[in-house]
Structure 1
Amino acid sequence: MEPKKKSPATVDESHLKLIMGLKLKQLRTEKGMSLAELAQATGISISYLNEIEKGKKLPKADKIAVLANTLEVSYDWLVSLKTNKKLAPVAEVLQSRIMKELLLDVFGIDKAQLLDLLARVPVKLNAFLNTLIEISRNYGMRVENIYFSALRSYQEMHENYFEEIETAVDNFMSQNSLDVHQAIEWEQLRAVLEKNYQYRVEEDGLSNQPELQELRSVLLPGKRPKLLLNKNLNRIQKAFILGREIGFQFLGITERPNTTSWVEFDSFEQVLNNFKASYFSCALLLPRESLVKRLEVIFASPEFNSRDIIQLMEDFKVSPEILAHRLTNLLPRYFGIQELFFLRFSNRNGSEEFELTKEMHLAGLHNPHANMMQEHYCRRWISINILRSLSVQLKKGIYSKPLCMAQRSRYFGNEKEYLILSLAKPAMEGTNINHSISVGLLLTNQLRKKVMFWNDPTIPIRMVGETCQRCPAADCAERAAEAEVLQKGQRIAVMKTALKALSDR
């Protein structure tokens, strides 16, 4: 009696489905069989065979046995991840981290189609995929960098506006009798967490762990989750963290990080879910209805007044970063201002080293943007200068509230101009790290219609570059490095012209 065939469920099922589908298609094609002919020979429907070839179905053992017999291969080979020479690059890709690092599912790219293409042009496509990963490694990119790049792309695809989260916030506020026109205190959110979700919140939960002082919070899951807060958090930071915890719970999110800031990155799903909960918290602390009305008043004035921005933050008890995030959420949807960017720069108090730690661009990649080459960002940017001003105030002991400045930036060799609103404050009490948060709005006809102070003569207009290494500005007093990249490009252009002249003789 023929031995009973083993189920293929012991190997990675998702990989097996993809590999089996490619094997099936390759074997059928080599035998010159159509799907209809294979269906007739095996008694398996055309639609089911098609699903197998697409890597969507894993047939039961009896069907696999029939397919193996018809295609004249062994059952064990068909249910294994072993491949012939032609499909070897596919197996190599599946066993590497490439498929995970490329985050195909996030962007709606069908893995089976990509692998099918890889099977047909294996050398070139495999080289291309490996090149992408190699480039990321050479530039010091880690998996988390790819995750956050993918998240930014996801936000940009949706114009950073998510109606389902906005609606969830409205429902939560209604259910808990919270007024959209009044600031929410962190104690209110603590009460909701303790009553509705049985949380225990410890305001000074990390002091006994000196190695965890850089973290803002740690969640210890369980039947009664314990949320440990850093004692140096201010009221706004506590409110945001508690609002984020409510977001996880109210949105029914289970796969999530348990620390703020990040310690490790287990999956893109965690990064995406953390964004959703953070979006919830920002929308909770600064509801769209109230913010849109306040912005309409601020934008209607022909004069820019930084005190109006500061007052808005004080009224709702939110940080510059929360306000900036809400601007990127609501300006495209409610004001038609779609071409914008968000930047967060960090530096140590008194230092001239500036790091771009967060960015997002809507409706295209705007300047400025991140540079992985360790080049010097233009010192004429308002994002940099506001950090310098903050450092001076901190040194003199006169800092009392976030700084707010505006600037119109025109780029050398580029007709685009941006109206930029920038805010700056220390990152957290007990550290010497400062943050500047900037929202840049491309100067378009729509912006001129909606933001009346765009042409306020008190707003400085500056010519700016991207990085010093690429900037053509002559005799720039703020230059921090020579224009090496620009000069190299110019030398190459001269050589190309000379080579063309030589060949035209």
Structure 2
Amino acid sequence: MAIAEEYIRLIFGLKIKQIRTEKDLSLFGLSKLSGLSKSYLNEIEKGKKYPKTDKIIKLAETLGVPYDQLVSLKLDKNLAPIGEILQSGILDEIPLELFGIQQSDLIDIIANAPSKVNAFISTIIEIAQHYNMSREGFYLASLRSYQEAHNNFFKDLEDKVIRCANTYQLDLTGKIGSAELEEILKEEYGYNINESGIPKQEELDNLRSVFVPSTKTLLLSDRVDEAQKTFIFAKELGYQYLEITDRPYTFTWIRYNHFEEVLHNFYASYFAGALILPRQHLGEQLKELFSSETFSEKAFHKIMNLYNASPESFYQRLTNVLPKDFGMQNVFFLRFTHKKGVEKFNLVKELHITHQQQPHANEINEHYCRRWMAIKTLQRTANEDLEYTFNIQISDYADTDQQYLVFTSATKDPFRKDYYRSIGIGFLISSALEKKIKFVGDSKIPKVKVGVTCESCSLKDCDVRMAPPKRLLIREKHKKTASLVQDLVKQYS
């Protein structure tokens, strides 16, 4: 394949299809608006035709995007992995014909389902960067790619939550409690609920619920609080209302047998979060919070307390609502766990919208920056044996011009002795964000210089450094070696 020409045509077509889909336009609708035939537009989207300048101008005007954006080969996050694999020429190296696959067929698949292909490719790339990934790790990496490709917002699930609330007369402007969800599960779906049905055995300590499908019996741990119980019941309602049968039966999960279980577990969890923290009501509260010139921790927690939701559910829900309804792009979500008395901090869950943000997991046993709010809050909670801790800071990343507004909550793990967890969300600070969150400029919010890991950090005289900056030292050594070699070459030339 002449990759340069094919690549340009395909990327242009993918861009047109992506923008058209985002605007909820059919090929027929775009044809009617642009005056270009439906068959011609179809060939453009499949990468078979590249239109002349006048037609590109017409498409740009019709779709409401700049001409330069359409003709540029620069891709957003949704299409970037596809662009990389096409431009690399790797498809030429794979003997597709041995499997009865034509390269044109593969390109058609990419053109017709870019977000799904992107999730797959992103996963493969991520696997190459990890070591000893388990099957569950592979599944969860796939799920994360899928979430990130959709900016973690799923309109069909949001719509189904509203329909479900109407069906069962649930108030999406008030605090939904476990009792009303329990009644629906019992009356409408024939559930039997045993609130202390999980035996007190060490191996079952981490379990919050077990569902027995043959008798529709839901066993609960007697240590779940009201917020956790509400989430479990909302999730079970999600499984039933969405008519999902292929699912894990334990929460938290023990083992996923295949990817469909992971995906369905995510759908039910998303449904539960959207039901407990209704999009419209939450959005109204956040709008008021963000309009203040100064940050109020009291106002922040007042919003959290409006809902029967754990801090983790609340922060997770923010990753759905803020990018979509407030246009806040470049967001990260992190969840850490930590055992008291141990120096290790485990990043067990992360999400990045719309690009890979500065704080991210590493698989090479380096030390995460101890100046991160997520770790400082976790350390304080563990050292002082607190039930709950909250803090906020602006993290100013060394060697970059990037600053993040970060909120973090840390709690005791009620299911494991001496274990603690922190949940945090961060927003890349920009002029656009400053217009949306007025208190970004609040001088009372501390600004702290941070790195990513100690091994890659250039900060001098850091009093919480856990390891020398070996990666930087190696880089400097290589740089000096290259300079000396260049001098030798010049001397003997």
Specify the SS of the correspondent of 1:316: coil
Matched, 1:142 2:134: yes
The answer on whether the counterparts of 1:310 and 1:404 sit within 8 Å (CA) in structure 2 is no
Q: Which residue of 2 aligns with 1:465?
A: 451
Q: 2:422 aligns with which of 436, 450, 461?
A: 436
Specify the SS of the correspondent of 2:305: helix
Within-5 A mapping of 1:47-446: 108-109=116-117, 136=130, 139-207=131-199, 209-222=201-214, 224-394=215-385, 399=386, 402-429=388-415, 431-446=417-432
The answer on whether the counterparts of 1:309 and 1:404 sit within 8 Å (CA) in structure 2 is no
Deviation at 1:430, TM superposition (A): 5.3
Alignment CA distance shift 1:276-1:134 (3 Å): closer
The answer on whether the counterparts of 2:210 and 2:219 sit within 8 Å (CA) in structure 1 is yes
Deviation at 1:393, TM superposition (A): 3.6
Within-5 A mapping of 1:454-493: 454-493=440-479
Deviation at 1:499, TM superposition (A): 2.5
Provide the C-alpha distance between the structure 1 equivalents of 2:429 and 2:244, rounded to a whole number of angstroms: 39
Within-5 A mapping of 1:17-28: none
TM-score calculated relative to the size of structure 1:
0.72
Deviation at 1:307, TM superposition (A): 1.6
The answer on whether the counterparts of 1:336 and 1:446 sit within 8 Å (CA) in structure 2 is no
The answer on whether the counterparts of 2:231 and 2:273 sit within 8 Å (CA) in structure 1 is yes
Provide the C-alpha distance between the structure 1 equivalents of 2:127 and 2:355, rounded to a whole number of angstroms: 24
Provide the C-alpha distance between the structure 1 equivalents of 2:445 and 2:125, rounded to a whole number of angstroms: 45
Deviation at 1:317, TM superposition (A): 2.2
- The aligned amino acid for 1:314 is N
Deviation at 1:502, TM superposition (A): 2.9
Q: Which residue of 2 aligns with 1:121?
A: none
- The aligned amino acid for 2:254 is V
Alignment CA distance shift 1:382-1:198 (3 Å): same
Deviation at 1:372, TM superposition (A): 0.3
- The aligned amino acid for 2:144 is R
The answer on whether the counterparts of 1:421 and 1:438 sit within 8 Å (CA) in structure 2 is yes
**Aligned-residue CA RMSD (Å):** 2.5
Deviation at 1:485, TM superposition (A): 1.9
Deviation at 1:168, TM superposition (A): 0.8
Q: Which residue of 2 aligns with 1:32?
A: none
Specify the SS of the correspondent of 1:419: strand
The answer on whether the counterparts of 2:230 and 2:308 sit within 8 Å (CA) in structure 1 is no
Provide the C-alpha distance between the structure 2 equivalents of 1:382 and 1:355, rounded to a whole number of angstroms: 14
Provide the C-alpha distance between the structure 1 equivalents of 2:126 and 2:375, rounded to a whole number of angstroms: 32
Provide the C-alpha distance between the structure 1 equivalents of 2:442 and 2:95, rounded to a whole number of angstroms: 64
Specify the SS of the correspondent of 2:306: helix
- The aligned amino acid for 2:414 is M
The answer on whether the counterparts of 2:127 and 2:133 sit within 8 Å (CA) in structure 1 is no
Provide the C-alpha distance between the structure 1 equivalents of 2:126 and 2:382, rounded to a whole number of angstroms: 40
Q: 1:499 aligns with which of 461, 467, 485?
A: 485
Deviation at 1:180, TM superposition (A): 1.1
Provide the C-alpha distance between the structure 2 equivalents of 1:90 and 1:391, rounded to a whole number of angstroms: 57
Specify the SS of the correspondent of 2:247: coil
Alignment CA distance shift 1:442-1:130 (3 Å): closer
More deviation, 251-260/292-301:
251-260
Provide the C-alpha distance between the structure 2 equivalents of 1:308 and 1:393, rounded to a whole number of angstroms: 25
The answer on whether the counterparts of 2:115 and 2:149 sit within 8 Å (CA) in structure 1 is no
Alignment CA distance shift 1:329-1:191 (3 Å): same
- The aligned amino acid for 1:361 is H
Deviation at 1:213, TM superposition (A): 2.0
Specify the SS of the correspondent of 1:315: coil
Alignment CA distance shift 1:495-1:366 (3 Å): same
Alignment CA distance shift 1:87-1:411 (3 Å): closer
Specify the SS of the correspondent of 2:267: helix
Alignment CA distance shift 1:220-1:340 (3 Å): same
Provide the C-alpha distance between the structure 1 equivalents of 2:115 and 2:204, rounded to a whole number of angstroms: 35
TM-score calculated relative to the size of structure 2:
0.73
Provide the C-alpha distance between the structure 2 equivalents of 1:477 and 1:134, rounded to a whole number of angstroms: 34
Task: Give the length in aligned residue pairs.
Answer: 383
Specify the SS of the correspondent of 2:391: strand
The answer on whether the counterparts of 1:339 and 1:363 sit within 8 Å (CA) in structure 2 is yes
Specify the SS of the correspondent of 2:407: strand
Provide the C-alpha distance between the structure 2 equivalents of 1:308 and 1:375, rounded to a whole number of angstroms: 37
Provide the C-alpha distance between the structure 1 equivalents of 2:436 and 2:116, rounded to a whole number of angstroms: 35
Measured against aligned partners, the alpha-carbon deviations of 1:451-488 in whole angstroms (never above 9, x if no partner) come to 11111111100010000111111111010111112211
Provide the C-alpha distance between the structure 2 equivalents of 1:267 and 1:240, rounded to a whole number of angstroms: 24
Q: Which residue of 2 aligns with 1:15?
A: none
Deviation at 1:163, TM superposition (A): 0.7
Alignment CA distance shift 1:415-1:208 (3 Å): closer
Provide the C-alpha distance between the structure 2 equivalents of 1:169 and 1:468, rounded to a whole number of angstroms: 44
- The aligned amino acid for 2:291 is A
The answer on whether the counterparts of 1:303 and 1:456 sit within 8 Å (CA) in structure 2 is yes
- The aligned amino acid for 1:422 is T
Provide the C-alpha distance between the structure 1 equivalents of 2:389 and 2:200, rounded to a whole number of angstroms: 34
Alignment CA distance shift 1:198-1:486 (3 Å): same
Deviation at 1:205, TM superposition (A): 1.1
Deviation at 1:208, TM superposition (A): 5.5
The answer on whether the counterparts of 1:106 and 1:154 sit within 8 Å (CA) in structure 2 is no
- The aligned amino acid for 2:248 is P
Provide the C-alpha distance between the structure 2 equivalents of 1:130 and 1:190, rounded to a whole number of angstroms: 41
Provide the C-alpha distance between the structure 1 equivalents of 2:315 and 2:476, rounded to a whole number of angstroms: 38
Deviation at 1:146, TM superposition (A): 1.7
Higher Rg of the two aligned structures: 1
The answer on whether the counterparts of 2:205 and 2:415 sit within 8 Å (CA) in structure 1 is no
More deviation, 263-272/287-296:
263-272
